């Protein structure tokens, strides 16, 4: 197990990158603590798999250094780094049994057969694969195969970190939940650092101690899930984290105060902001409905989606701006009806040129 440090680490697939645009992963500084769970979150093509492949040694970075416990491993091979990786599609050795699959990495390291069987028994018990150890691995379901992939990583006692490259994509939704919980349990049990790559924010938020949000090869924000939700550092993070995404409203500057016409907010402090495009962001979860006759801000219902316990209501403000409210209110909401909307000042985030102030 190791602390992983990315020191100015960047990668371009071009042999001679001319500008920053040529980088699939723009140079970044990050420290991943030993024993924690991390998630790399971002849309497809944002550079998260590139970062993962650099850490595992499957890709050599064009810039910067990678340190494991302060030791430079940038030029080390995959096997020298002692990394375990689980891929999007389960990778198993089809001709082998579950037991032989789990023992394979140890056989490659010339372990003593007695030691191998002891270790395999330990790991299979942890992954609840002990009942099917002698079954041919190819006959198992996708989630069991994925557990074997994980098991091949955990069976080694020298693993620096387990890298998970969208491992839950091919798993049924029900099994996804239990596999994610299993991964968390294993992390708590073994203290192995785990890094999950995903484009599913709920997967990232529920799995990781810390989430790294990426876009266009650049790290946008890194922090605890609740930090990303409550204090997104820019509008992209606000938009990418949370479902539905954050609502952005235009504001007018009146002296040292900001006014938001859509929500009839007139007394927002401007602070010491310089010139630049200003917007306020409010989570759909933080907006509340009120009686239109008692509210300053009135909006018209354009659509209402029922998600079971929650409802997503799309509204148009008096000034024409569109926004969404996530509500558990059980009253009947008709399309075309008018509703009062209110928000607590503490939940209003001010963005200047797309960056949180």
HEC states along 151-197? Answer: HHHHCCCCCCEEEEECCCCCCCHHHHHHHHHHHHHHHHHHCCEEEEE
Report in angstroms how near the CB of residue 236 gets to another protein at its nearest. 30
**For the purposes of burial, counting CB atoms within 10 Å of the CB of 235, is it exposed (0-12), middle (13-18) or buried (19 or more)?**
buried
Which of 27, 105, 225, 242 touches another protein (CB under 8 A)?
A: 105
- Judged by CB under 8 A, the number of residues near another protein is 24
Contact 237, 227 (CB under 8 A): no
Contact 102, 151 (CB under 8 A): yes
Q: Is 93 in the site for another protein (CB under 8 A)?
A: yes
Report in angstroms how near the CB of residue 109 gets to another protein at its nearest. 6
Q: Is 232 in the site for another protein (CB under 8 A)?
A: no
- Contact map string, positions 1 to 20, toward another protein, x by CB under 8 A: --------------------
Q: Give the DSSP letter of residue 136.
A: B
Q: Which stretch binds another protein (CB under 8 A): 36-44, 146-154, 206-214, 215-223?
A: 146-154
Q: Is 88 in the site for another protein (CB under 8 A)?
A: yes
Cα Rg of the chain, angstroms: 25
Which of 60, 109, 231, 254 touches another protein (CB under 8 A)?
A: 109
95 vs 189, beta carbon nearer another protein? 95
Q: Is 91 in the site for another protein (CB under 8 A)?
A: yes
Report in angstroms how near the CB of residue 305 gets to another protein at its nearest. 37
Which of 9, 24, 51, 83 touches another protein (CB under 8 A)?
A: 83
Q: Are strands 278-282 and 349-352 parallel, antiparallel or unpaired?
A: antiparallel
Q: Which stretch binds another protein (CB under 8 A): 6-14, 90-98, 179-187, 284-292?
A: 90-98
Which of 25, 66, 84, 213 touches another protein (CB under 8 A)?
A: 84
Report in angstroms how near the CB of residue 202 gets to another protein at its nearest. 25
Q: Which stretch binds another protein (CB under 8 A): 78-86, 195-203, 278-286, 344-352?
A: 78-86
Report in angstroms how near the CB of residue 59 gets to another protein at its nearest. 10
Report in angstroms how near the CB of residue 94 gets to another protein at its nearest. 5
Which of 31, 108, 322, 355 touches another protein (CB under 8 A)?
A: 108
Report in angstroms how near the CB of residue 331 gets to another protein at its nearest. 51
Q: Does 357 sit behind a cis peptide bond, omega within 30 degrees of 0 on the bond before it?
A: no
User: Positive or negative, the Cα torsion across 211, 217, 221, 222?
Assistant: positive
Cα separation of 162 and 172, whole Å? 22
Q: Is 119 in the site for another protein (CB under 8 A)?
A: no
CA distances from 61 to 7, 9, 28, 100, 246 (A): 11, 7, 12, 34, 35
For every residue of 68-133, DSSP letters joined together read ETTEE-TT--HHHHTEEEE-SS----TTSBHHHHHHHHHHHTT--HHHHHHHHHHHHHHTT-GGGT
- Contact map string, positions 169 to 198, toward another protein, x by CB under 8 A: ------------------------------
Contact 313, 271 (CB under 8 A): no
**For the purposes of burial, counting CB atoms within 10 Å of the CB of 293, is it exposed (0-12), middle (13-18) or buried (19 or more)?**
exposed
Which of 89, 243, 271, 322 touches another protein (CB under 8 A)?
A: 89
Interacting residues toward another protein by CB under 8 A: 56, 58, 78-79, 83-85, 87-89, 91, 93-96, 104-105, 108-109, 136, 138, 149, 152-153
């Amino acid at each position: 197990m190791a602390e992983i440090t990315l020191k100015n680490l960047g990668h371009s697939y071009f042999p001679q990158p001319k500008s920053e645009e040529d980088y699939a992963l723009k140079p970044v500084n990050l420290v991943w603590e030993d024993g924690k769970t991390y998630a790399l979150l971002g849309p497809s093509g944002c550079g998260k798999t590139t970062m993962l492949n650099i850490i595992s040694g499957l890709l050599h970075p064009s810039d910067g250094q990678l340190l494991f416990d302060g030791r430079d491993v940038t030029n080390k091979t995959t096997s020298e780094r002692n990394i375990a990786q689980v891929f999007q599609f389960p990778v198993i050795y089809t001709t082998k049994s579950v037991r032989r699959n789990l023992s394979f990495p140890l056989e490659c390291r010339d372990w003593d057969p007695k030691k191998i069987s002891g270790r395999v028994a330990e790991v299979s018990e942890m992954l609840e694969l002990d009942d099917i150890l002698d079954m041919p691995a190819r006959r198992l379901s996708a989630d069991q195969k994925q557990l074997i992939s994980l098991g091949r990583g955990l069976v080694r006692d020298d693993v620096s970190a387990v890298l998970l490259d969208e491992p839950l994509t091919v798993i049924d939704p029900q099994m996804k939940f239990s596999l994610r919980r299993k991964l968390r349990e294993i992390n708590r049990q073994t203290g192995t650092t785990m890094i999950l790559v995903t484009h599913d924010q709920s997967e990232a938020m529920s799995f990781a101690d810390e989430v790294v949000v990426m876009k266009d090869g650049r790290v946008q924000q890194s922090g605890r899930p609740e930090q990303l939700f409550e204090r997104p550092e820019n509008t992209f993070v606000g938009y990418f984290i949370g479902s539905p995404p954050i609502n952005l409203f235009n504001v007018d500057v009146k002296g040292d105060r900001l006014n938001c016409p859509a929500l009839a907010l007139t007394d927002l402090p401007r602070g010491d902001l310089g010139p630049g495009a200003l917007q306020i962001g409010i989570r759909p979860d933080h907006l509340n409905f009120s009686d239109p006759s008692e509210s300053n801000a009135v909006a018209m219902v354009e659509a209402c989606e029922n998600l079971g316990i929650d409802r997503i209501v799309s509204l148009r403000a008096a000034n024409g701006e569109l926004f969404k409210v996530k509500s558990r209110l059980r009253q009947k909401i008709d399309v075309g009806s008018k509703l009062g909307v209110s928000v607590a000042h503490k939940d209003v985030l001010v963005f200047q040129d797309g960056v949180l102030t």
